């Protein structure tokens, strides 16, 4: 172990107490070093073998001292330590034990501090703020005496939010393009753009493909289950055979668009829903569903007579870029 030169000088006068072989010599502190390589083998201190200096110079050159000399320096810094004057030997063991206890306590304190920093309950990161414009788009709506509840947009997949996208197609602006396999509906706009809506697709939404026209539009439409639906689930749809009036609980939602082909009803519908979770999913009933806020928007943009295209699987995903 090494001390500063000032510390070495302060204990040099006691070196002879630790080196009884040289009682009459004004010793360099090297005499107190157990592993000292700097004492002459003849027993006379002539010069420091490490630096070649005489006694006085050697005191300031070498910083290595023995464990006993280090204890002496520590003991001198503690005013309560008692010495045995007859033997001129300092009992430093109590001080050593105190130092050990202090070190152990300091180590325990550091350990507990580290534990307290790592054992705390981890907080969940705060949800990012929602765009106010998006909240307004899907806010609560009062329409035709009905109240359409707001949609929790923080739980929506951003893909399914109504938005303008880049879209290249040969169909004219104003055409509705339904991609049931990608679960999107596009309203073609000018300049290679389209308004895109997320949709939910039932089995009936996959049973038609091709081109037709929107020959009928309805606000808060009534609904009558088909004969096939009644036959398939008589307990569920049998009581509704006479139809269900329009309203917030009607499965067609706030608006409906009806697809005709060559003057005949294809039974293909684009309609609303309050079930926000179903957008972007395959669903069990209905046809092509949009959120009520979205079907109201689409209904307002599309006049009767507009063309509508339902894409087959092999054309799914084309156009958007």
Answer for the pair 160, 137: CB distance below 8 angstroms, yes or no.
Answer: no
Full-model pTM: 0.60
Write the CA distances from 71 to 4, 11, 216, integer angstroms: 15, 10, 102
Task: Measure the CA–CA gap between 274 and 259, rounded to whole angstroms.
Answer: 22
Position 87 confidence tier, pLDDT thresholds 50, 70, 90: very low
What does the domain layout of the chain look like in residue ranges? 5-105, 157-315
Task: Measure the CA–CA gap between 272 and 147, rounded to whole angstroms.
Answer: 14
User: Count of CB atoms within 10 A of residue 228's CB?
Assistant: 11
Look at 285 and 158; give whichever has higher pLDDT: 158
Q: Is 73 exposed, middle or buried (0-12, 13-18, 19+ CB in 10 A)?
A: middle
Query: Does the pLDDT at position 179 exceed 90?
Result: yes
Task: Measure the CA–CA gap between 127 and 27, rounded to whole angstroms.
Answer: 75
What pLDDT was estimated at residue 103?
Answer: 59
Write the CA distances from 221 to 159, 194, 253, 273, integer angstroms: 28, 27, 7, 12
Answer for the pair 151, 293: CB distance below 8 angstroms, yes or no.
Answer: yes
Query: Does the pLDDT at position 42 exceed 80?
Result: no
Position 226 confidence tier, pLDDT thresholds 50, 70, 90: confident
Position 206 confidence tier, pLDDT thresholds 50, 70, 90: confident
What pLDDT was estimated at residue 106?
Answer: 61
Look at 36 and 183; give whichever has higher pLDDT: 183
Look at 84 and 60; give whichever has higher pLDDT: 84
Indicate the fold that domain 157-315 takes in CATH.
L,D-transpeptidase catalytic domain-like (2.40.440)
Position 85 confidence tier, pLDDT thresholds 50, 70, 90: very low
What pLDDT was estimated at residue 95?
Answer: 59
What pLDDT was estimated at residue 91?
Answer: 56
Task: Measure the CA–CA gap between 137 and 161, rounded to whole angstroms.
Answer: 9
Angle between helices 67-76 and 93-118 (to 10 degrees): 80
Look at 293 and 115; give whichever has higher pLDDT: 293
Residues paired with 146 in a beta bridge: 143
Answer for the pair 214, 302: CB distance below 8 angstroms, yes or no.
Answer: yes
What pLDDT was estimated at residue 221?
Answer: 96
CA 146 to chain centre: 40
Q: SS3 for 271?
A: strand
Mean pLDDT of 294-303: 98
Query: Does the pLDDT at position 210 exceed 70?
Result: yes
Mean pLDDT of 159-186: 97
Q: SS3 for 308?
A: strand
Answer for the pair 146, 220: CB distance below 8 angstroms, yes or no.
Answer: yes
Q: What is the pLDDT of residues 233-290, one digit of tens each?
A: 899 889 989 999 999 999 899 999 999 999 999 989 999 998 999 999 988 677 899 9
Mean pLDDT of 62-78: 46
**Residue among 307, 135, 83 at smallest CA distance from 213:** 307
Task: Measure the CA–CA gap between 13 and 320, rounded to whole angstroms.
Answer: 92
């Amino acid at each position: 172990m090494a001390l500063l030169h000032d510390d070495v000088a302060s204990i040099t006068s006691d070196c002879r107490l630790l080196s009884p072989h040289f009682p009459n010599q004004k010793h360099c502190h090297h005499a107190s070093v157990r592993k000292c390589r700097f004492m002459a083998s003849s027993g006379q201190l002539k010069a420091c073998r490490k630096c070649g200096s005489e006694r006085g110079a050697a005191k300031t050159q070498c910083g290595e001292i023995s464990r006993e000399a280090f204890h002496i320096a520590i003991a001198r810094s503690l005013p309560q330590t008692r010495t045995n004057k007859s033997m001129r030997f300092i009992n430093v063991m109590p001080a050593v034990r105190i130092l050990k206890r202090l070190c152990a306590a300091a180590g325990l304190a550091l350990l507990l501090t580290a534990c307290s920093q790592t054992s705390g309950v981890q907080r969940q990161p705060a949800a990012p703020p929602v765009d106010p414009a998006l909240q307004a788009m899907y806010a609560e709506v009062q329409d035709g005496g009905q109240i359409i509840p707001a949609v929790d947009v923080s739980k929506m997949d951003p893909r399914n939010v109504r938005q303008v996208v880049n879209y290249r197609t040969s169909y004219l602006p104003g055409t509705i393009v339904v991609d049931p396999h990608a679960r999107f509906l596009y309203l073609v706009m000018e300049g290679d753009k389209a308004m895109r809506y997320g949709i939910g697709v039932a089995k009936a939404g996959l049973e038609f493909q091709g081109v037709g026209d929107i020959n009928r539009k309805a606000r808060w439409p009534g609904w009558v289950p088909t004969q096939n639906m009644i036959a398939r689930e008589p307990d569920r749809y049998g009581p509704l055979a006479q139809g269900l009036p329009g309203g917030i609980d009607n499965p067609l939602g706030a608006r409906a668009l009806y697809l005709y082909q060559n003057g005949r009803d294809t039974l293909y519908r684009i309609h609303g829903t309050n079930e926000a979770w179903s957008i972007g999913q395959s669903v069990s009933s209905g046809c092509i569903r949009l959120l009520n806020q979205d079907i109201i928007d689409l209904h307002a943009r599309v006049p009767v007579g507009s063309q509508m295209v339902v894409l087959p699987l092999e054309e799914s995903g084309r156009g958007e870029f």
